Amino acid sequence: MAARILDGKALAEQCNAEIAERVSRLARPPGLAVVLVGEDAASKVYVRNKGRSAAKLGFVHRQVDLPADASEAAVLAAVDELGADPSIDGILVQLPLPRHINTQRVMDHIPAHKDVDGITATSAGLLSQGRPSFVACTPQGSMRLIALAGATLTGANAVVIGRSNIVGRPMAMLLEQANATVTVCHSRSRDLAGAVQRAEFVIAAVGQAGLVRGEWIREGAVVIDVGMNRTAEGKLTGDVEYEAASQRAAAITPVPGGVGPMTIAMLMQNTVLAAERRS
Ligand code: GUN
């Protein structure tokens, strides 16, 4: 039987309705600042989508564009300025940054109370101890999609493919805190196929089109595809072989229209949370 399609766009719209309601109760609108360094085409699209969503929800939205050859000091100065700006509740520095910039050093300049991306060492540390402050947006959105699927995580095997600070690591922590037994796989893992075959929940976050073969998916599994890859024809595609996986999974997220819209909705949710904590 074909899998249920987990519609991230529809779920994001529901989340946005709740967020709009919370915005209406604030004395002044939430302020979100996005810093974009360089000309990466995919990053530009993501940043534009975040800006559109913020505007639609009535947020104050600031975008700071810096050239690809901006010095690390210039990026740090921009982050520090936003950190001190009382009209800004949340700061997101779009990744990846150009190679000459030390990403962690930049992230460390985002004040913890404005870390709506959940990327700082403080946010990661608090999450690892089970007392989250701001949870990274893609993992948070993925958990909402898993909840929509209605399958029980407690006691189940979950595999996370990818170990980035922004997706894989926080994702594994959230799954473990929801009582799943979690395996984290990465580019050096010896038996990816075996790990996927054992998993009732598969979260693919590597950025490699079709890496997860449809035939590996266990019958009845829930598949969350975080990948956003462009084919040679310019089409967006995920990390999972969608058609083949859909024949075996109970539920699966499409690309586009799955995790992507939920990532943006969770960024808006974190920003409204930051604004509520301010007032
Ligand atoms: N680039 C791709 N996804 C993300 C994200 O969630 N946060 C940031 N800061 N950059 C990204």
75-125: per-residue pLDDT in tens? Answer: 999 999 999 999 999 999 999 999 999 999 999 999 999 999 999 999 999
> Which H or E run includes 169?
helix 168-177
Q: Span 163-190, mean pLDDT?
A: 97
Specify the pLDDT at position 116: 98
Residue entry with tokens 């996370």: 160
Specify the pLDDT at position 273: 98
Q: How far is the CA of 220 from the centre of ligand 1 (A)?
A: 30
Whether this model's pTM surpasses 0.95 = yes
DSSP, collapsed to helix, strand or coil, labels residue 42 as helix
Q: How far is the CA of 232 from the centre of ligand 1 (A)?
A: 23
Domain 29-112, CATH: 3.40.50.10860
* CB contact at 8 A, 268 and 19: yes
pLDDT tens figures, 24-46: 999 999 999 999 999 999 999 99
Ligand 1: which atom is nearest the Cα of residue 137?
A: 6
Minimum CA distance residue for ligand 1 atom 3: 95
**Ligand 1 pocket, residues with Cβ under 6 angstroms:** 46, 92-95, 117, 137-138, 166, 263
Pick the CATH number of 136-259 from 3.40.50.12280, 3.40.50.720, 1.10.150.20, 3.30.70.1230: 3.40.50.720
Work out the percent of the chain whose per-residue pLDDT is above 90.
99
Q: Span 208-228, mean pLDDT?
A: 98
Q: How far is the CA of 166 from the centre of ligand 1 (A)?
A: 7
Say whether 40 is catalytic.
Answer: no
pLDDT tens figures, 120-153: 999 999 999 999 999 999 999 999 999 999 999 9
Q: Span 233-241, mean pLDDT?
A: 96
Specify the pLDDT at position 277: 97
Q: Which residues contact 8 (CB under 8 A, 6 or more apart)?
A: 141, 145, 253, 254, 257, 258, 259, 260, 261, 262
Tell me, yes or no, if the two domains 29-112 and 136-259 fold the same way: yes
Q: Span 263-273, mean pLDDT?
A: 98
Say whether 94 is catalytic.
Answer: yes
Q: Which one is catalytic: 115, 117, 225, 239?
A: 117
Closest CA to 221 of 175, 264, 242, 252: 252
pLDDT value at 1 more than 80: no
Q: How many CB atoms lie within 10 A of CB 79?
A: 22
pLDDT value at 279 more than 80: no
Minimum CA distance residue for ligand 1 atom 4: 95
Ligand 1: which atom is nearest the Cα of residue 95?
A: 10
pLDDT value at 276 more than 80: yes
pLDDT value at 215 more than 80: yes
Q: How far is the CA of 119 from the centre of ligand 1 (A)?
A: 9
All structural domains of the chain with their residue ranges: 29-112, 136-259
Say whether 208 is catalytic.
Answer: no
Specify the pLDDT at position 107: 97
